[in-house]
Amino acid sequence: MELEPLKLEIEAAVPGCRLEIIPNLGPSAQHSLLVDPEHGLAVAFYLRDAAEFDFCTNVTGVDWPPRELTEKIKIKQIVEGVEKDVDQIRKVQIPGYLEAVYHLYSIERRLGPLPLRMRTADRDSCTHLPSLTTVWRSAEFQEREVYDLYGIYFDGHPDLRRLLMWDSFVDYPMRRDYVEPDDYEYEPTAHDQVLARAKEHASKAGAL
Amino acid sequence: MSTTYAPVSEPITGSAPVTGRPAPRPATPVLSGPDLPEQYLELSMGPQHPSTHGVFRMNVVLDGEQVVKLKPVFGYLHRNHEKIAESESYLGNMPYTDRLDYICSITNNWAYALAVEKLGSIEVPERAEYIRVITGELTRLQNHACLLGFLLQDMGASGTPLMYAFREREKVLDLFESLTGARMMCNYLRFGGCRVDLPPGWLNRAKAFLADFPRFLDEFERLLVGNEILMERTQGVGVLSRELAISAAISGPMARASGLNYDIRKADGYSIYNRFSFRVPLGSHGDVYDRYMIRFLEMRESVKILDQAMRDIPDGPIQNPAVKARLFRPKPGEAYGRIESPKGELGFYLISDGSGIPYRYRVRPPSLINLTVLEDLCLGHNVADVIAVLGSVDIVMGEVDR
Amino acid sequence: MLGEGIIKGLAETARNFFGSYLTKERLTTVQYPEERLPQNEAFRNFPFLVFDGADSEAGLRCVSCHICEKECPPKCIFIEKSKDKKPDAVGKPQFYPVVFDIDVSVCMSCQICVEVCPFDAIKMDVEYDYPTEDRFAALLFNKHQLAKSNDYYHQIHPTEASAVDAALAAERESAAAKAAATAAAAAKTAAAKVSAESRAVKASPDSAVESITEPPLSGGDGL
């Protein structure tokens, strides 16, 4: 599906929005459209009404912890009096963020999937994104699940509470740095690590 | 009437590990507040309930017998499937997909295999595609039979139609057992094909089963379709409009019963479905009766597809030789692959970072998304109708909660 | 007529009920456990280790490569490799597992261990009767409980076992043929070297007369 013409359409219709096409590196060629959170709702309304992407099947959260990318770039340097292109390895620090991905299909125009992405500013304090429940009703439960498991607050959601975990659960399980509590009931079967942890837990519980 | 929602959990800053036991859970006043009028009653239907299709809870506020508000509560079967998948290899995730929608294990395998094949651009040989279609449509037959039996059981038909349906389902499960080794948790499909080839005589047994299946469908129709009790209880109950179905991304027989002509086998044309001629039944009222009849008609269409597939299946390899199941490392990228499972659109969204373990693995569960509109369908109806509506949505908690 | 649908339905139920006395297909109840349905050959339950011959220690096919342990999705296999080696079925020294535990309360019978084993050492058993009062130790099967003979494997999965035996025999044959070929080639090159040396000794100028009686060097088959 060609994203360039769609991007131009949306930029014309929703002034001020910052759109970016994220290429899909793999062979499936499902390229995504990244939209900034401030204009997310307006872009979503445009996609649903004018571009006829009325079927939002999937809402996913993805956790991207801070990463380091190593790039090899060529820079011009003077080596022995001659200007040459030299390979240099550059490490780029990419700060972490949380991402919400919406997969959109168009029933009438038989198009899809169009992944629409929105990213938060960081993983700790600014984790708010606009809720697209008013645009597509299917986002209602799925955004609740993303809130439950990742911690993204969806502003404007009619009923934002935990879906799968119980209501007073603390922490967000699907994040990459989630540490699970060790108050499980371990059964002392073969593996050394499991046995060691069970013994440690039993001694702690006995000491309490 | 005001509604107060359960308190939102405190946000965490940083990622301090949480140790020790969680705080005791307060009672969850999901729907009712202190100013609830006296004649209203808040009732919790489930999670232990014989008719809620698993551990599923519905908080309903009732005015007499009529439903004023309904909120589904689930998560009782949450097994952390997506997080487990982030630490297992691609092959190791295949048996876990069996356990998502535990009634239809082969279609779950198929959706996952399709997503991985999109991710890695893997081709599937002809015979394997035919085997996938045959086993997939057999899965659809046994799922619809199972569901119809349970729907009628929930409405009080005390098990007789259930047992008739299960009699047929057992035959399908026997076929699966002789092919894959297990009745329900088949773990049969692989990336680029199937695990083992059809044993000798399997196709003949399947054809014999299929020759007998329309007799069962006719019997079931005679048993129930003209039944006045069924018609009174299901016609006009739980009406889903087409616009709401599109907005809520309802898929599968539930959407088609509301008149939405969207069958992924026809829309995407995945696998070799565009070679088979079959029709897509559509309903016009969108009520429970339509959803019930749609599944009947879909079973008849599946029989047609099976006839064609079993007639045309070629010989040949069943696995793409270039794909090693074990040390499978797709290139970095992402893919969303979806199929028409018996319950709706089952999709898998995979993000690969180039290693042998998926970075993000997401199951798009049709049962969960079809539940989005449960409140809309049940408002104004009686408590007993809630059970009928829930039965017609066709949920399996393994998929809702993962 | 009101109630017509219900009466038709009841007629259908009656047909099934009375038909169950007359035709076999309608009476599908099996009086378990006195009566049992014949088991499918492909049925699988928990894994077991195969050994060839009569000795479960010496004939064990497992060489403790840990591949099944790594690929097992719920990680229910626990293996400890030996420090010494023992000869396998063809006499090649291989490691063997000192400890091979499968926790069957965790095992989900997915059969991936069987699929990835390169030595056909672990296969699926069909036993499902393991009731026990001890939740932990009795459901942890060790190597001795898991090791069953190849004859037993033939009993439970005849077609599969014959195919595996044929594949292993073919492998052994080709390995033996290759070994024989390399041995023959080594012997021939050694012989050719010896005769070349002796000819070099004899082909010095003062023994030109005796060299005429030397047979000509054959270059065709001495490879």
Residue type at A14 in one-letter notation:
V
pLDDT in tens, B254-310: 999 999 999 999 988 888 899 999 999 998 888 899 998 999 999 999 999 999 999
Q: To the nearest whole number, what is the mean pLDDT of chain A?
A: 82
pLDDT in tens, B76-97: 899 889 998 998 899 999 999 9
R_g (Cα) of chain A, nearest Å: 23
Residues C51 and C149 in one domain: yes
Instruction: Give A167→chain C minimum CA distance, Å.
Output: 29
Residues C174 and C121 in one domain: no
Cβ B217 vs Cβ B224: under 8 Å: no
Tell whether C182 is covered by a domain.
yes
CB contact B177 to C (< 8 Å): yes
| DSSP of C119-149 | TS-EEE--------S-SSGGGEE-HHHHEEE
Residues C141 and C208 in one domain: no
DSSP reduced 3-state for A142:
helix
Contact state of B177 with C40 under an 8 Å Cβ cutoff: yes
Helix residue ranges per DSSP H, B155-184: 160-180
DSSP reduced 3-state for A173:
coil
Residue B202 confidence (pLDDT) above 90 = yes
Residue C58 confidence (pLDDT) above 70 = yes
Tell whether C221 is covered by a domain.
no
Alpha carbon separation from B338 to A58, B117, B130, B264 (Å, rounded): 11, 11, 18, 8
Please state which of the ranges A69-73, B100-104, B127-131, C209-213 shows the lowest mean pLDDT: C209-213
Q: From chain C, pick out residues whose CB is under 8 angstroms from the CB of B182.
A: 43-44, 109
User: Bigger pLDDT: C50 or A83?
Assistant: C50
Give the single-character DSSP code of C27. Answer: -
pLDDT at position A189, please? 46
Residue B32 confidence (pLDDT) above 70 = no
Tell whether C136 is covered by a domain.
yes
Q: From chain A, pick out residues whose CB is under 8 angstroms from the CB of C75.
A: 191
Tell whether C3 is covered by a domain.
no
pLDDT at position B350, please? 93
The closest CB to that of B226, out of C8, C44, C112, belongs to C8
Q: Which two tokens stand for residue B84?
A: 């487990």
Residue where a domain stops, chosen among C139, C156, C173: C156
DSSP reduced 3-state for B223:
helix
Residue type at A185 in one-letter notation:
E
The closest CB to that of C16, out of B94, B164, B231, belongs to B164
pLDDT in tens, B37-47: 778 888 888 78
User: Bigger pLDDT: A73 or C35?
Assistant: C35
pLDDT in tens, C85-130: 888 777 788 888 998 989 888 899 999 999 999 988 999 999 888 8
Cβ A53 vs Cβ A132: under 8 Å: no
Percent of chain B exceeding pLDDT 70 equals 91
Residue B401 CA to residue B147 CA, distance in Å, equals: 19
Q: Give the pLDDT band (50/70/90) at residue B341.
A: very high
Residues C137 and C195 in one domain: no
Element (H, E) at B350: strand B344-352
pLDDT in tens, B348-363: 999 998 888 999 999 9
Contact state of A189 with C135 under an 8 Å Cβ cutoff: no
* Structural domain that includes position C180: 164-213
Tell whether C133 is covered by a domain.
yes
Average pLDDT over residues A137-143: 91
Residues C103 and C151 in one domain: yes
Residues C65 and C149 in one domain: yes
Percent of chain A exceeding pLDDT 90 equals 16
Cβ B165 vs Cβ B290: under 8 Å: no
DSSP reduced 3-state for A130:
strand
- Cis amide bond preceding A27, omega within 30: no
pLDDT at position A194, please? 58
Cβ A30 vs Cβ A117: under 8 Å: no
Residue C213 confidence (pLDDT) above 70 = no
Q: To the nearest whole number, what is the mean pLDDT of chain C?
A: 82
pLDDT in tens, C5-22: 888 888 888 888 888 888
Residue where a domain stops, chosen among C123, C139, C156: C156
Residue among A91, A118, A90 at smallest CA distance from A104: A118
Contact state of C78 with A187 under an 8 Å Cβ cutoff: no
CB contact A162 to B (< 8 Å): yes
CATH number at residue C143: 3.30.70.3270
pLDDT at position C184, please? 84
Tell whether C70 is covered by a domain.
yes
Write the ipTM: 0.84
pTM: 0.86
pLDDT at position A182, please? 63
pLDDT at position C217, please? 44
Contact state of C71 with B178 under an 8 Å Cβ cutoff: no
Residue B166 confidence (pLDDT) above 80 = yes
Tell whether C105 is covered by a domain.
yes
Residue A185 confidence (pLDDT) above 70 = no
Instruction: Give B231→chain A minimum CA distance, Å.
Output: 30
Q: Give the pLDDT band (50/70/90) at residue A12.
A: confident
pLDDT at position B65, please? 85
pLDDT at position B336, please? 92
Residue B219 CA to residue C15 CA, distance in Å, equals: 10
The closest CB to that of B347, out of A26, A58, A125, belongs to A58
pLDDT at position C86, please? 83
Average pLDDT over residues A153-170: 85
Residues C172 and C140 in one domain: no
Q: Give the pLDDT band (50/70/90) at residue C211.
A: very low
User: Bigger pLDDT: B223 or A100?
Assistant: A100
For residue A64, list its beta bridge partners.
Answer: A97
Average pLDDT over residues B189-207: 92
Residues C62 and C141 in one domain: yes
Residue where a domain stops, chosen among C156, C175, C191: C156
Cβ B396 vs Cβ B52: under 8 Å: no
Q: Give the pLDDT band (50/70/90) at residue A197.
A: low
pLDDT at position C215, please? 46
Highest mean pLDDT (candidates A27-41, A108-122, B332-346): B332-346
pLDDT at position B4, please? 30
B323: left (phi over 0), alpha (psi -120 to 50) or beta: beta
Q: Give the pLDDT band (50/70/90) at residue A193.
A: low
Tell whether C197 is covered by a domain.
yes
CB contact C5 to B (< 8 Å): yes
Looking at the structure of chain C, the number of domains it has is 2
Residues C78 and C144 in one domain: yes
pLDDT at position B13, please? 31
Residue A94 CA to residue A16 CA, distance in Å, equals: 25
pLDDT at position C208, please? 44
Residues C92 and C118 in one domain: yes
What residue of A is the nearest CA neighbor of B84? A174
Q: To the nearest whole number, what is the mean pLDDT of chain B?
A: 85
CB contact A177 to B (< 8 Å): yes
Residues C132 and C173 in one domain: no
pLDDT at position B139, please? 94
What proportions of chain B, in percent to the nearest 5, are helix, strand and coil?
A: 45, 10, 40
Q: From chain B, pick out residues whose CB is under 8 angstroms from the CB of C44.
A: 181-182
CB contact B170 to C (< 8 Å): yes
Residue B94 CA to residue B360 CA, distance in Å, equals: 15
pLDDT at position B69, please? 87
Element (H, E) at C182: helix C158-202
Average pLDDT over residues A56-78: 83
pLDDT at position B256, please? 93
Average pLDDT over residues C179-198: 81
Residues C56 and C151 in one domain: yes
